[in-house]
Structure 1
Amino acid sequence: MKMTGRRWMTALGLMLMTAACAAEDAPQSDKPTEEIALIKRDRTPVTEFTPEDIEETVDKLANAINRSGLEPIQMVVLLKHLSTFFEPIATGANRAMGELEAVGNVLGPTTQMVMDDGTTSQSLQNQQIANAIEDGAQGIGISPYDSLNEVSIRKAVESKLHVVTFDTDLKDSGRTLYVGAIQKEAGAKAAQALLDSKIGGLPPPPGTVVLHGDTSAQWYDGSQRTFGAMDALGKTGYTVQVVQAAFVNGQEDFDVGQLKSLIMSADPPVVGMIGMFNISYRCVMAAEAAGRPDMPIVTFDFDPKTVEYMQKERIKATIVQRQYYEGYLVPYILYGIEHIGLEATKEILRPLMVDENKMPDEHRVNIGVDVVPQDKFDEYNDFLDQIGSIQ
């Protein structure tokens, strides 16, 4: 797979890109115009995959910040790690912080869950939150490890910092907003793609659909995505069986073995599969191991192995979570909260937010997902290449 664009990753952090910016909007401030650095965005190229609603919302937010008289603020964006799935998030966050001339960094550990010195990724992230508080940060963006980071986030909120979660939510932590996909909706879209005769397509029921997912209470977002697919399929007459995905390093063979065993023993026979996470490609490996290379499969994310199987036409469609936009939105939201206030920022974000009349305590910015059929793979890959978002 072709890889273009600059990579800004390091083992424990990313260098902040900064750029002198200007804007056409006249600033509403007592300071002379020449003393105020204004935002000028480079909009994403328009393609069939460009989310125009997100682009227009960021334009409005940037214009409102400019009118307030832009003053740099200090922030930090914390990722679970800096590789694979999180690379596009880091790219987007760095780009936005550069446009905003933010003071701070995008940080995260390596892909190891346990560092050489015994530090876990979770404890490192908690330490980074504590450092941000001590250093006087005015905002934190974080992809948390569920409840393992809840206490640290609460401490940040108690210190008057606004915290925006992304990728994984912790709505009971006191965080200000969540940015990302609404996982139950995303799971339903995966089921719809598998059922769609133009994308996946299944023989009529009876038949079993296997979900490589997670139904545990420990991972709210993962289980919500899985339940979304289960609910959508439950109305169709197919039998649904879930294989609990194994993420621990070294468990790929075990994971594939679980899936293979179910494919070979299910009654009624397995007619399709959905991989709910970035290790979705294991569904293809299991189907081939079970002698079912023709199995219709829908996956999540754009992992390099998933891309490889899409090129081989073994995956009918993949659901991509727009990681680049997760990273890109967070710094703009933190700036907006600081400069124009939380309510004004939420009002600009309103077209993207979950209906707060129905769910007043949610405070979630829904950036949606992309459903990428196999026959649109090249076009989508080109779109990611243009925004520097290929993993």
Structure 2
Amino acid sequence: MTAQPRVPGREGKAPARIALIEKNRGAYWDMVNAGALDAGRRLGVTVLADAPEYESLDEQLALVHRYLDEGVDGLAFVATSQTAFTDTVAAGRRRGVPIITMDLDAPDSGRLMYVGMLAPVEMGRQAGRLMLDALGERRKVAVQTGSADAHGATGKLAGFTEVMTAAGVEVVGGDNDGERLDAAERNAHRLLSEHPDIGGFFGVYGYHAPVQARAVEAAGRDDIAIIGFDMLPETVAAIEAGTVRASIWIREYYFGYYAVAALANLARLGDEETLTLLGLRTDDLTGNLLRPQPLVVDRDNVGQFRAWARGLDLESRIAATL
């Protein structure tokens, strides 16, 4: 698919407003938005981040249309569905608005590029390999998820389960908590009660590792290895305390940072010029990917993460949003 030409009159215009339409208002997005705001300040761009309170495809689509109608100069959305946004993207592109995906991709939607993590199933496999290293001879793990539908969640869980099954490790749990912390807490305590022989805990969303750490600590089970995703402040503290063995940081701060930077340049310079500058294609958009390499954070390198976050004053900025 060829990048569409910009609407005449927009070339050279300094972008004023860029919208990020995320999938929910969970704590994970605070770090994404911190990166987006930092890029916006440096590039003179106003960043408008919005999302449904909980994952809702209909509400997401409505927000995309709303911001397009308000005349934003660029838009990024989180593709909770790989197929549902195609008509919406086409409508925005006809208006000359550059549109990209971030965090979750819809490669055939007509978006110009994707900024986000590696394939979710591969991220799940990476978590599975970390879990095997932590389990030793133990052969049962418990898992948690916040969505039964989102391809990011299902992909991570599928990749993790694949590695466990191949190694002969039993996987229990998997009930959907609907991104609600109280439900996640109840599920964690129930799994510990029903399966006292588990050797590990895994969750696909950033809030799962802190939830599991609290449950494990309350049960006095410091022998359970917790492998998680993302680096919420609670996760950092739990890694330092040794309650969480490791967390895969997908560098979500840079999803927001690079998405805003890309959109600012797409709006200023045009599609073909910006994609060429980034080494991306203009004739086939599906493979246009910008994916920061994830980093496994454990007790050996969590101090480096803290120093990075402190340099950007991230913890106080994120705390102010809670």
Could you say which TM-score interval applies, normalised by the shorter chain?
A: 0.7 to 0.9
Aligned pair partner of 1:252 in 169, 181, 184: 184
Tell me which residue corresponds to 1:188: 125
User: For 2:200, what is the secondary structure of its paired residue?
Assistant: strand
Q: In the TM superposition, what are the counterparts of 1:132-281 in structure 2 within 5 Å?
A: 132-146=67-81, 150=85, 152-182=88-118, 183-196=120-133, 201-204=134-137, 207-213=139-145, 216=148, 218-246=149-177, 247-248=179-180, 250-264=182-196, 269-280=197-208, 281=210
Contact 2:31 2:253 in 1 (8 A): yes
Contact 2:199 2:223 in 1 (8 A): no
List per-residue Cα deviations over 1:236-289 (Å, max 9, x = no partner). Answer: 33233352341235323432234224422xxxx422222221122222344345
Tell me which amino acid in the other structure corresponds to 1:72. Answer: A
Structure number with higher relative contact order (C-alpha < 8 Å, ≥ 6 residues apart): 2
Contact 2:185 2:212 in 1 (8 A): no
Contact 1:214 1:223 in 2 (8 A): no
User: For 1:107, what is the secondary structure of its paired residue?
Assistant: strand
List per-residue Cα deviations over 1:13-56 (Å, max 9, x = no partner). Answer: xxxxxxxxxxxxxxxxxxxxxxxxxxxxxxxxxxxxxxxxxxxx
Inter-partner Cα distance in structure 1 for 2:12 and 2:272: 18
The reply to whether residue 366 of structure 1 matches residue 299 of structure 2 is no
List per-residue Cα deviations over 1:81-110 (Å, max 9, x = no partner). Answer: 5662112221211221222223x432225x
Inter-partner Cα distance in structure 2 for 1:188 and 1:365: 20
Contact 1:324 1:389 in 2 (8 A): no
Tell me which residue corresponds to 1:328: 257
Unaligned stretches of 5+ residues in structure 1: 1-68, 114-119
Contact 2:147 2:154 in 1 (8 A): yes
Q: In the TM superposition, what are the counterparts of 1:291-370 in structure 2 within 5 Å?
A: 291-350=220-279, 361-370=286-295
Distance 1:123 1:372, change over 3 A: same
Shift in Å, 1:135? 3.2
Unaligned stretches of 5+ residues in structure 2: 1-10
User: For 1:382, what is the secondary structure of its paired residue?
Assistant: helix
Tell me which amino acid in the other structure corresponds to 2:191. Answer: L
Shift in Å, 1:170? 3.0
Tell me which residue corresponds to 1:63: none
Inter-partner Cα distance in structure 2 for 1:346 and 1:185: 26
Contact 2:185 2:211 in 1 (8 A): no
What do you get for the CA RMSD once the two structures are aligned? Answer: 3.3
Inter-partner Cα distance in structure 2 for 1:245 and 1:289: 22
Aligned pair partner of 2:64 in 129, 153, 161: 129
Inter-partner Cα distance in structure 1 for 2:112 and 2:191: 39
List per-residue Cα deviations over 1:310-333 (Å, max 9, x = no partner). Answer: 232111111112121111101221
Computing the radius of gyration over CA atoms, which structure comes out larger, 1 or 2?
A: 1
Aligned-residue sequence identity (percent) comes to 20
